[in-house]
Amino acid sequence: MNDIETYFSQKEKPSSIFRIAETAYNHEGNLSYLLQLIDDLKSSGADAVKLHIMLELDAYMTSSHSLFGRLQKWLLTREQWKEVFAHCRMNKLAIVGLADELPGLTFLIDEKVDALAIHAASMHDAYMLEKLSKAEQPLFVGVGGATLSDIEYTVHMLSPKRNIVFMYGIQQYPTPPSSLHLQKIPMYEKIFDFPVGYADHTAAHSELERYVAYAAAYGLGARVFEQHVTLDFVSKRIDDESAIGANTFIQFTENTNTISQMSGPSKFELKEDEKKYVHSRKQMVAARDLPIGSVLTERDIQFKRTEAWSDMAPDDFDKLLGRTLLQSVGEEQAFSWKSINGADPV
């Protein structure tokens, strides 16, 4: 399991990916279903499970809201959530807790979950933001559908908290490719100076679209990926329009690993295969037979590929001009510093 703290650093972007399996309300109040979902994620490559916590619905929405009755049936108790947390830890999965209301947030902080999350719907909740600003746990901030002024307000209210990652994803289930606007990832990073992850909501069975989106998001800077999961697609549960089967998460891991392997580390270095290819570049060779004592001019030097390796660098051309040969050099023979008078390869 990757160390979650690594992905909140603003100093150096890791090349690896942190994968969050998003359960949301896919359990629809069924504790056994949720525990099985977590079991299926064991050894799948998931680094964390995101759990959508709500303890007091009337602290989140008005009783007249059209979703009130439906959500009321899906709520789990504190004791049930504690069982879920224990199950995650037993399966070596970090816990990302998303609270919708203050009682749920307080519960998550007290339970010492690995990270907290706030949905874009709660970005203006001053009470929750104040609580989050003082929490030790790192924080994922959902910015899908948020305006720049929304985000500016949230960041201001969270100050001085800095261990934050924005999670960008269009809140449309499923999201068509034309709506993704992944260029927002580097835009957010530049404006707010926080790492930005990608929360995927592309169509459940559109694997090509999903992996193209992952690769593009990674190339634009995302290192945290959030993917909705479900146990099956038969029962038609909430959010499964953008989910993958939990038992296929290992394939998701392998495919996203390929993306990070292709990218490599964020520092310049030549791989061994590249180093071998360097030896195929053109060398400076003698244009004709040159006797001892020859003073080198541009007429004496050509650039040609040769299997003989020289100790001269490409930018040594100017250093070679005007130097005297200490030994003869045959036509098409590569020049070497040992044969040059007054040579100073440094």
What pLDDT score was predicted for residue 11?
74
Helix (H, G, I), strand (E, B) or coil at 241: helix
The CATH number for 272-339, chosen from 3.90.1150.10, 3.90.1210.10, 3.30.1440.10, 2.90.10.10, is 3.90.1210.10
In this structure, are residues 304 and 282 in contact, taking their beta carbons and an 8 Å threshold? yes
Query: Is 272-339 the same fold as 14-263?
Result: no
Lowest-pLDDT choice from 97-111, 178-192, 262-276: 262-276
Whether 272 has a pLDDT exceeding 50, the answer reads yes
Q: For residue range 17-58, what is the model confidence (pLDDT) as tens digits?
A: 999 999 999 899 999 999 999 999 998 999 999 999 999 999
Given pLDDT bands bounded at 50, 70 and 90, which one contains residue 275?
low
198 DSSP β-pair partners: 168, 225
Give dist(CA 133, CA 180) in Å, integer: 30
Please give the pLDDT value at position 161: 95
Reported pTM = 0.82
What pLDDT, on the 0 to 100 scale, is given for residue 34? 96
Across 104-132, average pLDDT: 96
Higher pLDDT, 166 or 120: 166
Indicate whether 342 pLDDT > 80: no
Boundaries of every domain in the chain: 14-263, 272-339
Place of tokens 């989106």: 213
Predicted local distance difference test score (pLDDT) of residue 344: 56
Bigger pLDDT: 175 or 204? 175
pLDDT digits (tens, 9 = 90+) for 290-326: 999 999 999 999 999 888 878 887 678 999 999 999 9
Q: What is the pLDDT of residue 346?
A: 46
* pLDDT for res 171: 75
How high is the pLDDT of residue 339?
86
Q: Which residue has the higher pLDDT, 277 or 337?
A: 337
Instruction: Work out whether the CA dihedral 22, 27, 29, 31 comes out positive or negative.
Output: negative
CATH number assigned to the domain with residue range 14-263, chosen from the 4 options 3.40.50.10490, 3.90.440.10, 3.20.20.70, 3.40.30.10: 3.20.20.70
HSE-CB for 183 with a 13 A CA cutoff: 3
The number of residues making up the chain comes to 346
**pLDDT for 175:** 82
Q: Between the CA of residue 73 and those of 57, 63, 236, 336, what are the distances in Å?
A: 10, 13, 17, 81
Question: What backbone phi and psi angles, to 5 degrees, belong to 55?
Answer: -105, -35
344 or 89: whose pLDDT is higher? 89
Q: Which among 185, 211, 181 is positioned nearest to 198, based on CA atoms?
A: 185
Q: Which of 80-94, 145-159, 224-238 is least confident?
A: 224-238
The mean pLDDT value of the chain amounts to 90
Does residue 62 have a pLDDT over 80? yes
The larger pLDDT score, comparing residue 64 to residue 275, is at 64
Taking the C-alpha atoms of residue 129 and residue 109, their distance in angstroms, rounded to an integer, is: 13
